[in-house]
Structure 1
């Protein structure tokens, strides 16, 4: 029993030294990846075992040949252990990172759902309250002169249209997220789509005293579904007009590169905070007070979305553009920002 205790003591000494060095190494590497930690832990474990075996073999006064046999055997086992540990360690590290990213993504999605419900509830509650108040006033004949009754009817129609747009946005977004969006792609003249969108946005631009500028020619033809493309251009234009101050300018431009066509909507809104730029296409994201909304839209200013959209307009733009196989991005320019959409050319799909 005494001999076994002595052997244990001889093996424990170098193993503790290696373990202490390994603990210090792991502490120094605490900012590195999971794979590095796993490999370091394996190296420390195997090295401690080799050191203990080498120490015991030396103290047992084995012949050089026998000692080499023991060390070679231990080295072979250590090599196999390190190789297997490294391979499975990388897989384990990748799984751990993937699981962490999945949890973060799930939390972000859940937070997005909560934000969406909050924004939509707010944007529905406000017009519904107004509609109820106006309906009760008409029903109780609190308002009975023809001019006021006509104005109440007009405001009821406006609020109804607003809620209809919001419900349409929700339906469109649900189709995008569910993968139920089916596009019928064809060669679409971009100039025709922009012309219709500019005509639709012109009344709002006039009310906000914003200049809408678009060239008469030079528009490329893109491979797209015309209704969805019209919605993309319309959302970008309305978003730009609503957040461009009075006497500002919204400019629409387009062109074609070798592999794709591009459409840009630039405004003089004053820009979006740099920290908000990566998030302007997120569902229900409205950011901080960064851009000045047109007074006719009402509500507070917020980066990236018109106040009546429930924070869905730019999210729909991104979803529709990506469904076309394109991409959309935004960047700040001098005195404003620029949204740029890139779409495939006919014959490139």
Structure 2
């Protein structure tokens, strides 16, 4: 009875290995067909073992049962190997697809950023050129007003370049940071006072409050830049006649800054993109010249990660709530 069983096991192994090789080859092209071939290979391996064993057996009623018990574990082992190989191939394919998707998203974001930056730089430069030509031709009734406008446009252009350079340094990890005690409360109070004229231009009120001593260890310049980006963004997108409220406090031993605006809120798909480089929302929410470069919140996110913190944006009331947790 031993010899028929050995023939049966040998046939099972041979068919199983052949089916496994075929399934793995098919998996490189189609995971769907590989999933179909896996169980078929197991069945064929068992069937081959049974057929060969029956052909070799003597008249013994126990031999088919013994062969089944001998070939089934072998076929099962083949099935397990095929399943693991197929799953590995599926994971590799999924990983490759994700890398390809990420690369496409990165390239799309890069193109959108370059297109947006080109437009953002072209607009103030065109205005500066037009005003300079008007001054040169002597057709300006109030030259001082044009000088002030040129200075404002130059400052705006400088801000765009500064944002781009800051994002580049933070993205590449080359940004130099200094670890020192920083009063987040003082930085917030100073920025609220500094940005009050900008808010007034849009008929927006900006307020700030500090609950106790709110301090962190980090880079004062980067932290101040992050706070300024959040406040400027809130002022730019909140509706005229509303109030931007900033608050600094300590929660669970960590410094927290919250900024609330009255922008009307964001859709779910917009909330998912607020930290995408170069994204500024739809045209209906773009407030003319005060629209930024779409780099403000990505810079905030990188600064917070550099300090071991995080930034979140969510809908709250009639606007958005930006929370920075250090």
Q: 1:47 aligns with which of 23, 43, 48?
A: 43
For 1:329, the equivalent position in structure 2 comes to 312
Counterpart CA distance in 2 for 1:292 and 1:72 is 73
Q: Deviations over 1:309-340 (max 9, x none)?
A: 22111111111111111111111111111000
Shift of 1:68: 5.1
Q: How does 1:176-191 map to 2 (within 5 A)?
A: 176-191=170-185
| Residues 210, 249 of structure 2: 8 Å contact kept | no
Q: 2:160 aligns with which of 162, 166, 170?
A: 166
Counterpart CA distance in 2 for 1:102 and 1:56 is 48
Shift of 1:64: 4.5
Counterpart CA distance in 1 for 2:93 and 2:156 is 46
Unaligned runs of 5+ in 1: 1-10, 20-33, 300-305, 344-349
| Residues 188, 248 of structure 2: 8 Å contact kept | no
Q: Does 1:95 align with 2:89?
A: no
For 2:191, the equivalent position in structure 1 comes to 197
For 1:342, the equivalent position in structure 2 comes to 325
Judged with a 3 Å threshold, the aligned counterparts in structure 2 of structure 1 residues 120 and 292 are, in CA distance, closer, same or farther, namely closer
Judged with a 3 Å threshold, the aligned counterparts in structure 2 of structure 1 residues 290 and 54 are, in CA distance, closer, same or farther, namely farther
For 1:4, the equivalent position in structure 2 comes to none
| Residues 267, 337 of structure 1: 8 Å contact kept | yes
Q: How does 1:106-185 map to 2 (within 5 A)?
A: 106-143=103-140, 145=141, 147=142, 149-185=143-179
Counterpart CA distance in 2 for 1:230 and 1:211 is 20
For 2:72, the equivalent position in structure 1 comes to 75
| Residues 243, 291 of structure 1: 8 Å contact kept | yes
Greater shift, 256-265 or 66-75, is seen at 66-75
Q: Deviations over 1:136-180 (max 9, x none)?
A: 22233333x5x2x22222111111111100000000000111121
Greater shift, 212-221 or 103-112, is seen at 212-221
Shift of 1:91: 2.7
Q: Deviations over 1:215-263 (max 9, x none)?
A: 2542421232110010111011111111122220111112222252211
| Residues 211, 250 of structure 2: 8 Å contact kept | no
Counterpart CA distance in 2 for 1:264 and 1:179 is 27
Judged with a 3 Å threshold, the aligned counterparts in structure 2 of structure 1 residues 136 and 291 are, in CA distance, closer, same or farther, namely closer
For 1:208, the equivalent position in structure 2 comes to 202
Q: How does 1:262-281 map to 2 (within 5 A)?
A: 262-281=256-275
Unaligned runs of 5+ in 2: 1-10, 20-29
| Residues 272, 291 of structure 1: 8 Å contact kept | no
Q: Deviations over 1:170-222 (max 9, x none)?
A: 00000111121232122211111101211221111122221212125424212
| Residues 210, 247 of structure 2: 8 Å contact kept | no
Number of corresponding residues:
299
After superposing on structure 2, the runs of 4+ consecutive aligned residues of structure 1 that deviate more than 6 Å are 34-37
* TM-score calculated relative to the size of structure 2: 0.82
For 2:219, the equivalent position in structure 1 comes to 225
3-state SS of 1:214 partner:
strand
Q: How does 1:238-253 map to 2 (within 5 A)?
A: 238-253=232-247
For 1:31, the equivalent position in structure 2 comes to none
